[in-house]
Amino acid sequence: MKPMRSPVAIRLLGGLLAVYLGLPLIVLVAHLGVGTWQAIGQGPTLSAMATSVEAATVSTLIMALGGIPLGYVLARSQGRSSRLLGLLVQLPLALPPLVAGILLLLLVGPYTLVGTLTSGALSQTFLGIVLAQTFVASPFVIVSARSAFQAIDPELIAVAATLGVRPFGQLWRVALPLAWPGIMAGLALGWVRAFGEFGATVMLAFHPYSLPVATYVAFGSSGLPATFAPVMLAAVTGLGFLVLVSLLPSRWRRKQQQTALSASHPPAPAVAEDLSFSLRRQLPGFSLDVDWPGGARQLAILGPSGAGKTVTLRLLAGVDHGQGEIRYGRTRIDQLPAEQRAIGYVPQQGAIFPHLSVADQAIFGRGADPGAAAFWLREMGLWARLGAYGDELSGGERQRLALVRALARNPQLLLLDEPLSALDQPLRRDLRRQIAHLSAVRGLPMVVVTHDPEEAWALAESVLVLVGGRVAQAGSREQVFHRPASPEVARLVGFTDINSGTVDGQGGLVVAGVRLAIPDAVHAGAVRWSVAPGGAQLDPAGPIRGRVVERISRTDGTELTVDAMGARVTLRDGRPGVADQWVQFSIRPEAVVLWA
């Protein structure tokens, strides 16, 4: 696709600055015939350049060894102390270089305690140049690394933890490869800044000459023409370094050897244990308080957006922290870090690593079984995509790969967060069928978070309904779906119309003049009521008459909302073009749900 052009005013402003930055080099080239150039090949100039290059390289290595981890810590830390440290490491950027040099003299100069203990080896030496360059250039590396790490989706680090990867492995295998382009930019800026450092260097280590110091000495002794040779040497060296950096790979990628996945075999059956939990989590403006006593192999956590479903799943996975306890069988796992819980966690959107191939991701987890990974790759239809990278996959492929990655470790518990939400309808059906099939293949216990009642019914035998961070109802799927505990739960499981009415002393509910004997009516008086999906049918001989107030076309006919003397009831009509204004219908009394 052809890129869009920037507005003329923006291009003009940017062009003016680019011209200003390039003009000094053009002017230098124009003075080629004026300067004293024989010094460019002489020993002192070349020695000064070598000193600057070597010192800048050593400084960059030091900045990489300390600055990258520090950037990682700052990116993952919050609070006042972290912000204070972030400001502190940027201080050298705000200081004039000469001031930075004076501060270093106060710290490691020849008459300080450190200088005395080292016999002055930290000033007027090559090491002094390195110390000066490291001090003034480190913020470029630290700030760039912090920004690059902050740009990484935190869910990728969380998934790595649930796959058994320890903290150092999370940095080395996930965070560092993803942040590498930004870190490389910071290291390049750090090297260039160190190479050109003058003020701090001239204060701390006038000797041996670095190239900027040699240029300053040449200017003081022989005037401007004598500086052209070292200036040109510095410009060519700096430009050459930048060109070299631009030629390096911009992404950290590695392909997995596919031979490790060739021996496919079915996974071992899971040893199913009972999951129970009692969780508390306080967030800004939101409080989670949820209990599940256990007793189900497949549990669906159903609720509207913002109900606390994902927070609950993250607490179970160990990637978020709160109060309470989680028991899997007789083992209390809430006291274990995420990498030790032996669970498979599939977050929303899959959290696929963009820098790894499908084959690499399938056996990414600690202790992953290559044979089981191959089995699930074939089962999920991903075997032909082994060499594709994560950012080359479709939404459906990403969701299936996330499931394969979790299953390859043969987990004892599978946690799924909206596993089908990003898929189109055919893929939803296929993946839902594959997830449901897991129980038959492995007997694998699952917790599925969803806001789709159809998905909850298909994937779970028990349902926990969350509303506003609290349990609104919990029990078997039949109990929750057929006898919701409140109108709010009823809407979540597919009831569309909530009406007000009155139940007489014999358990009768009058709808549009027709009395229905409700089997489970236990209280007389004012009630709210609704009809379960499919509990009302069009019936030419039906006792209830109503006016059609809304029609919705569906693939299997028409959905009608009928007003029967103030009561709203939803019906299905198999005729796609139904145009009746008044209809007769009947309601099965056992399909009516009452709330006092």
**CA separation for the pair 533, 494 (Å, rounded):** 7
pLDDT for 253:
66
Helix (H, G, I), strand (E, B) or coil at 509: strand
Domains of the chain listed by start with CATH number: 14-247 (1.10.3720.10), 273-480 (3.40.50.300), 495-595 (no CATH)
Helix (H, G, I), strand (E, B) or coil at 413: strand
Helix (H, G, I), strand (E, B) or coil at 546: strand
Q: What are the structure tokens assigned to 553, written together?
A: 């076309």
Contact 447, 414 (CB under 8 A): yes
Q: Residue 171 gets which letter from DSSP?
A: I
pLDDT for 174:
94
Residues 213-231 as b or e (16 or more Cβ within 10 Å = b):
bbbbbbeeeeeeebbbbbb
Angle at the Cα of 268 (from 448 to 274), degrees rounded to 5? 45
DSSP class per residue in 60-93: HHHHHHHHHHHHHHHHH--SHHHHHHHHHTTHHH
> Which residues touch 133 (CB under 8 Å, ≥6 apart)?
55, 56, 59, 193, 194, 195, 197, 200, 201
> Which residues touch 171 (CB under 8 Å, ≥6 apart)?
69, 72
Residue corresponding to tokens 């920037």: 6
Q: What is the mean pLDDT of each run of 10 residues along the chain (596 residues)?
A: 74 90 83 61 82 96 96 91 91 93 93 88 92 96 96 95 94 94 95 95 92 91 82 88 85 60 76 90 92 91 93 95 92 92 90 92 92 90 91 88 92 90 74 77 85 89 95 95 94 92 88 87 85 89 91 81 92 69 90 90
pLDDT for 270:
75
Cα maximum dimension of the chain: 114
Question: Global pTM?
Answer: 0.85
pLDDT for 352:
94
Q: Residue 267 gets which letter from DSSP?
A: P
Helix (H, G, I), strand (E, B) or coil at 516: strand
Q: Which of 92, 88, 87, 129 is nearest to 108 (CA)?
A: 129
- Provide the terminal-to-terminal Cα distance of the chain, rounded to the nearest Å: 61
- What are the backbone angles phi and psi of residue 593, rounded to the nearest 5°? -115, 135
3-state per-residue secondary structure call for 343-395: EEEECCCCCCCCCEEHHHHHCCCCCCCHHHHHHHHHHCCCHHHCCCEHHHCCH
Q: Which amino acid is at 160?
A: A
pLDDT for 338:
94
> Which residues touch 104 (CB under 8 Å, ≥6 apart)?
131, 132, 135, 200, 203, 204
